[in-house]
Amino acid sequence: MTSSFDMTRRTLLAAAPAATAVPFVAALPSGAAAAMNPGSVSYRTVTVDGIDIFYREAGPKGAPAVLLLHGFPSSSHMFRDLIPQLATRFRVIAPDYPGFGFSASPSTEVFPYTFATIADLVDKFTDTVGLGSYTVFMQDYGGPVGFRLAMKNPDRVRGFIVQNAVMSVDGWQPDVVAQLSPFWKERTAETEKPLRAMLTPEGTRFQYEHGSTRPERLSPDAWTHDIAGLSRPGNADLQVLMLWNYQDNVAEYPKWQALLKERQPPILITWGKSDPFFTEKGLAYFSELVPTAEAHVYEAGHFALETHGEEIADLSLAFLDRLAKAN
């Protein structure tokens, strides 16, 4: 006896198209579907010096490479929308630093959380994932990491895309200097207070919302992701340690400035003008050192990618295309 289920099944099969795209895709060799869509993002982890480093990767393996270096208190998550856009023509890799995102968070007794050690780790990471030369896209903390990579391997860094990262004292907002100066002079529970306030959910959300003229484009996923990372046991302490160690970057500014002045690398600057941390003087100084630097200013805040991602992606692609043709 034929059941009603069997009759229904036969009716559906008879009405179905003779062929669909599904069997073809299922029959593709492993990795072929991804090759057809180079914007597809892979999520991987590699171990470097005993530390698990999470990273996002997309794009053709043999294409010119772009290394995306994130800021504070974010991670490679801040590039979630940019990666597929750049990956249509370039190999794109975005790691999380130790203590950020999905990378391991060793204790401060095990890992010192200086920008020098992070840059060394990222340098070894680039070797591990097979990056030769690359362009650096750097935001905030990504600046000190990216400049250290360029100092160590100047011939490997083909150019810079700068999104609100500085290398001059004039690039800092006065209010931020007023908070950091007492802390750097003497680290105490009292001088730490304004910095720990930045690590609260309110302080983290502020970094995204301040100065934004397109609030409808601000995804709560951004600060929620960051807050989750900051809320891990012990993470606030390592973040304070990194803010303490940021003074090492200021001491390195003259070296980075000399590097740019001497080598005159290709530079694209995309800048949120209402950044609560960095001023437009920080942008202007890049152009003073490298007159050929291309600069674009947006009515945006610290995380301009969140609200002006399409514009920044278009500029970045055009800049990267020019670099590719020049080499």
Q: Please give the positions annotated as active site.
A: 302
**Alpha carbon separation from 300 to 139, 213, 275 (Å, rounded):** 14, 6, 7
User: Is 128:241 a contact under the CB 8 Å cutoff?
Assistant: no
SS3 187: coil
**Alpha-carbon span 45 to 300, nearest angstrom:** 33
Segment 183-186 long-range contacts (CB within 8 Å, at least 24 positions apart): 183/243, 183/244, 184/244, 184/247
User: Is 305:139 a contact under the CB 8 Å cutoff?
Assistant: yes
Structure-block tokens of residue 270: 């995309």
Segment 44-52 long-range contacts (CB within 8 Å, at least 24 positions apart): 45/102, 45/103, 46/125, 46/128, 46/129, 48/121, 48/124, 48/125, 48/128, 49/121, 49/124, 51/98, 51/103, 51/104, 51/106, 51/111, 51/121, 52/103, 52/104
Could you tell me which residues come within 8 angstroms of residue 315 by beta carbon, excluding any fewer than 6 positions away?
268, 270, 294, 296
**Alpha-carbon span 58 to 81, nearest angstrom:** 12
User: Is 305:74 a contact under the CB 8 Å cutoff?
Assistant: no
Structure-block tokens of residue 103: 């990378």
| Amino acid identity at 250 | V
